Structure 1
Amino acid sequence: MNYKISELSLQLISLLLGFFIATILSTMPSQTGDWGIIASSIVVTLNEIISKIIYKYYNNSKDLFIYIINSIKIGIIYGFFVDAFKLGS
């Protein structure tokens, strides 16, 4: 693993961006109505569709854009996970 500092920092920023997007997506439906479950299921479905496309066609690609998209997806799922713990406690 020979990461450059700029690539690592871009991945960390995109991970935090995904976490921020998850926070936005989890608070907007609760303000507008009771659409939280539907919105979360749509986001998770889109996440899985993007994963299927990326891992089907770009399986051995070392492209930085693919890593950034993957980090954003991980941040979104992690953000939903943390929000679920906040709601459960």
Structure 2
Amino acid sequence: MLTNFLVKSIIKILNHKFYLINLSIISLTFGFFIASILSTLPAQTGDWGIISAAIIVTFNEIISKIIYCSGKKNKYFLKLLNNIKIGILYGLFVDAFKLGS
């Protein structure tokens, strides 16, 4: 009885952790995808570079303020939002390195 309970509870905890890890990886790759969209679409005309950079910086600062001033409310949603933000920043750095080489 006790061993069945322990095994079931361990499996439940591990499944929950893998679910959160999967969501984190998906949100990071979604942020990376958004970064590739943001870096290619405004560059078609050539004159939207500064405006799109200002929008991206403003978006990142607003998300950072929401995440770090909210406390413990909606912890998982804020982690996913932060992972999307990290994915966007990582994608923009990768695009910058591609352009620099």
User: What percentage of aligned pairs have identical amino acids?
Assistant: 61
Displacement of 1:38: 2.1
Report the number of matched residues: 87
d(CA) in 2 for partners of 1:16, 1:70: 12
Decide whether the 8 Å contact of 2:29 with 2:87 is kept in 1.
Answer: yes
RMSD: 1.8
Partner of 1:47: 60
d(CA) in 1 for partners of 2:89, 2:54: 11
Partner of 1:88: 100
Displacement of 1:21: 0.1
- Structure 2 gaps of 5+ residues are 1-13
- Structure 1 gaps of 5+ residues are none
Partner of 1:38: 51
Which range is displaced more, 19-28 or 39-48? 39-48
Displacement of 1:57: 1.7
Given candidates 17, 25, 40, the residue that maps to 1:27 is: 40
Q: TM-score, normalised by structure 1?
A: 0.86
Between Structure 1 and Structure 2, whose CA radius of gyration is higher? 2
Structure possessing the higher relative contact order (Cα contacts under 8 Å, 6 or more residues apart) = 1
Following superposition, which runs of at least 4 residues in structure 1 exceed 4 angstroms of deviation? none
Displacement of 1:62: 6.6
d(CA) in 1 for partners of 2:79, 2:26: 12
Q: TM-score, normalised by structure 2?
A: 0.77
